[in-house]
Amino acid sequence: MLVLTRKCNETIRIGSNIKVKVLEVSGSYVKIGIEAPLEIPVYREELYQKILEENRASLISRELDGQYLKEVISRKAG
């Protein structure tokens, strides 16, 4: 991992079009501003990890009985 030391209001550039700026440091919190192209998604890591785990837990198991799946998926909402 590349480690850089920055002061408040200093910036890091990633590639030609992503800028990460330290906006505020307060106790153990750091407020960061990110400028990135719209098509580059930026997430808090813990949120991404949570969705990643949810997706993995949502996989339909190969061992699942086909009839059971059919029964479940054929139910209407309610």
Q: Which residues bind another protein (CB under 8 A)?
A: 38-39, 41, 43, 47-48, 50-60, 62, 64, 66-78
Quick check: 22 and 7 in contact, CB under 8 A?
A: yes
Q: What six digits make up the tokens of 60?
A: 């339909």
Closer of 29 and 68 to another protein (Cβ): 68
User: In whole angstroms, how close is the CB of 61 to another protein at the nearest point?
Assistant: 8
Closer of 8 and 32 to another protein (Cβ): 32
Q: What six digits make up the tokens of 67?
A: 């009839």
Closer of 6 and 18 to another protein (Cβ): 18
H or E, element range at 56:
helix 45-57
Beta bridge partners of 26: 29
